Amino acid sequence: MSVIKVENLTKTFGKGAAILNNLNIEFKEREIVGILGTSGCGKSTLLRILAGLDTHYDGEVYVHEELHKGVHEKIGFIFQEPRLMPWLTVEENVAFGLRGKDRLERANKMLGIVSLEGYSKYYPKALSGGMAQRVAIARALVNSPEILLLDEPFSALDAFTKMNLQELILGLWRTEKSSTIGIITHDIDEALYLCDRLIVFTKDENQPIAEIRVEINRPRERGDLNLAKLKSKVIGLLRLEPDWQI
Amino acid sequence: MKGKIKINATKIRGMILPIILIIIWQVFSSVGIFEKHLLPGPIVVMGALIELLKTGELITHVLATTYRVLSGFLIGASIAIIFGTLTGYYTKAFELCDPLIQALRTIPSLAWVPLFILWLGIGESSKLSLIAVGVFFPVYLNWVMGIRGVDPKYIEVGAMYHFTPMETIRKILIPATLPFLFTGLRTGLGLGWMFVVAAELMGASSGLGYLMVLGQNSSAPELILGSIIMFAVLGNITDTVLIYIEGKVLHWKESFKGGENNVSH
């Protein structure tokens, strides 16, 4: 069953050329989908449209087979930067969108899941980048969204923290804390390690979107030879060779 | 410990010049270079203040003036905050009201004095109105500028949780704008003290401004100087209180160095 379906999506900024042109994609239940592309290809715009943060587009977005425009309660979003409110403590940040008496209790439970239980009373300024992003993950998950969208969530983090958080996302997916995941990244290794399927924004005008299935069982080895083969395929699709000469 | 000693040394350094000036002032007055009926020495001025303190008059005047400043400040700041929240959040309200407010802002606030007296008489209401007008503009401008300058990234976080406009204002815009508010409040309070002098000079039966007029009419410069000193002391106290509150409220701010609740590991 499709969880998110996009039909004929077209998006233009101002009077310029369309950044997304007649796009059709689908996220299936329990799928981790990676969206890859060079900068400016429209991948962030696509994710913002799926999250409901951008509602100025042509075409249809279906969530659970129902036509939908705008923010959806079943969709959680993790931004590129943690975007924590500096005036709130960690637990208040996680409980930011929650209502009801048990909000802090729920927030603290979630903090336990991202291994930050001792930090509930801290302010964001005292956290490291990785810890802050973990708080942001907790904030997105505390509402138990069925669909989790991530916009280059680990791009600003060091390699070790990044690997750590990738495991966290996989763990959350495995324990069904979030069931379908869409992740934007420009890190091909990350995409291949995490995802079941990659949607690649190519520079080929005839075939702007290409799909790659990653049919390798989890847990995957980061140095897996098959992943390396897929990587060169992705690089080929992205046409990463420089278009300038010295 | 080392830090504390350093701070005290800085404070002492800051006091050297004022103390030297006071000593020169006293010496010149004692010798007779400064004429007593124009500029009495610091001892005479302090004596006059102590005399007023003994009779209880000083307290009455200080309370009257402080009451005016604080009431006018509360009125002006409250209106500025409520009004500024609306124009800051709703772009249409901003486009409608801001040009008018910017135009009104260019009028020197003291120019309102004759009109206020005409409308409200010479009593308390015209005084409070004048102070409130003086306080309104800096608080309003900083508040609106702050709200309109809030990073849209924060608003988007709220949008993900279906925040209503009220929730966005309460949970994101207001806390994010508090640093600007304090800048506005401190400037506003400073202007409040400035305008209370004008308000009391235009006719009052109590207050430090009245004391100054009394000193002028009865050729008692020590009363005028004593009032000036009291204004300086009171202005400083209220500003320090605001700085203290600011430190407590904005302890989460990374750049704020006065916060004591910093957690570090």
Local confidence band at B257 (pLDDT 50, 70, 90 cut-offs): low
Task: Report the C-alpha dihedral over residues A220, A222, A224, A228, rounded to 10 degrees.
Answer: 120
N-terminal to C-terminal alpha carbon distance within chain B? 20
Residue A211 CB partners (closer than 8 Å, separation 6+): A197, A198, A199, A200
pLDDT for the residue numbered B214: 93
pLDDT for the residue numbered A1: 78
CB contact under 8 A, B263 and A71: no
How far is it, in rounded angstroms, from Cα B46 to Cα A138?
63
- Whether chain A has a CB inside 8 Å of the CB on B166: the answer is no
Given the DSSP bridges, would you call strands A2-12 and A58-63 parallel, antiparallel or unpaired? antiparallel
Cβ-contact B216, B37 below 8 angstroms: no
CB contacts of B172 in chain A (<8 Å) are 85
Which tens digit of pLDDT belongs to each residue from A101-150?
A: 999 999 999 999 888 989 999 999 999 999 999 999 999 988 888 999 99
How far is it, in rounded angstroms, from Cα A215 to Cα A198?
11
Q: Which of B64, B31, B63, B29 is nearest to B46 (CA)?
A: B29
CA distance to partner chain A, nearest, from residue B156 (Å): 7
Q: Which residue ranges form the domains of chain A, and what is each CATH number? A: 2-238 (3.40.50.300)
- Whether chain A has a CB inside 8 Å of the CB on B167: the answer is no
Q: What is this structure's pTM?
A: 0.82
List the A18-28 sheet strands across, edge first: A18-28, A2-12, A58-63, A66-67
Closest residue in A to B254 (Cα–Cα): A125
pLDDT for the residue numbered B256: 52
Structure tokens at B228: 């000036």
B161 → closest Cβ in A97, A121, A122 = A97
- Res B170 pLDDT > 50: yes
Which tens digit of pLDDT belongs to each residue from B42-99?
A: 999 999 999 999 999 999 999 999 999 999 999 999 999 999 999 999 999 999 999 9
- Whether chain A has a CB inside 8 Å of the CB on B162: the answer is yes
pLDDT for the residue numbered A39: 81
- Res B160 pLDDT > 70: yes
Cβ-contact A202, A208 below 8 angstroms: yes
Angle B40-B43-B48 (CA atoms, 0-180°, nearest 5)? Answer: 75
Closest residue in A to B176 (Cα–Cα): A87
**Which candidate in B155, B157, B160 is best for mutational testing of the A interface (most A CBs within 10 A)?**
B160
Query: What would the 3-class secondary structure string for chain A be?
Result: CEEEEEEEEEEECCCCCEEEEEEEEEEECCCEEEEEECCCCCHHHHHHHHHCCCCCCEEEEEECCEECCCCCCCEEEECCCCCCCCCCCHHHHHCCCCCCCCHHHHHHHHHHHCCCHHHCCCCHHHCCHHHHHHHHHHHHHCCCCCEEEEECCCCCCCHHHHHHHHHHHHHHHHCCCCCEEEEEECCHHHHHHHCCEEEEECCCCCCCEEEEECCCCCCCCCCCHHHHHHHHHHHHHHCCCCCCCC
Beta bridge partners of A184: A35, A151
Give me chain B's average pLDDT, please.
89
CA–chain centroid gap for B192, Å, is 5
Structure tokens at B135: 């306080």
Q: Which residue ranges form the domains of chain B, and what is each CATH number? A: 60-249 (1.10.3720.10)
- Res B2 pLDDT > 60: no
Which tens digit of pLDDT belongs to each residue from B86-126?
A: 999 999 999 999 999 999 999 988 888 889 989 998 889 99
Query: Which DSSP letter does residue B261 get?
Result: -
Helix ranges (DSSP H) in chain B: 2-31, 42-55, 57-89, 91-105, 113-120, 124-148, 152-160, 165-168, 174-201, 208-217, 221-249
CB contacts of B174 in chain A (<8 Å) are none
* In the block, residue with structure tokens 């060079």: A38
CB contacts of B171 in chain A (<8 Å) are 96
| Torsions phi, psi for B163 (to 5 deg) | -65, 135
**Which candidate in B157, B173, B260 is best for mutational testing of the A interface (most A CBs within 10 A)?**
B157
CB contacts of B251 in chain A (<8 Å) are 123
pLDDT for the residue numbered B11: 82
- Whether chain A has a CB inside 8 Å of the CB on B164: the answer is no
Task: Report the largest interatomic distance among the alpha carbons of chain B, rounded to a whole angstrom.
Answer: 76
Q: Which of A116, A220, A214 is nearest to A167 (CA)?
A: A220
List the A209-213 sheet strands across, edge first: A75-78, A147-151, A180-185, A32-37, A197-201, A209-213
B263 → closest Cβ in A51, A97, A126 = A126
CB contact under 8 A, A125 and B154: no
Specify the 3-state DSSP secondary structure of B236. Answer: helix
Question: How many percent of chain B have pLDDT more than 90?
Answer: 77
CB contacts of B246 in chain A (<8 Å) are none
B254 → closest Cβ in A76, A86, A88 = A86
- Res A229 pLDDT > 70: yes
CA–chain centroid gap for B61, Å, is 18
Given the DSSP bridges, would you call strands A147-151 and A2-12 parallel, antiparallel or unpaired? unpaired
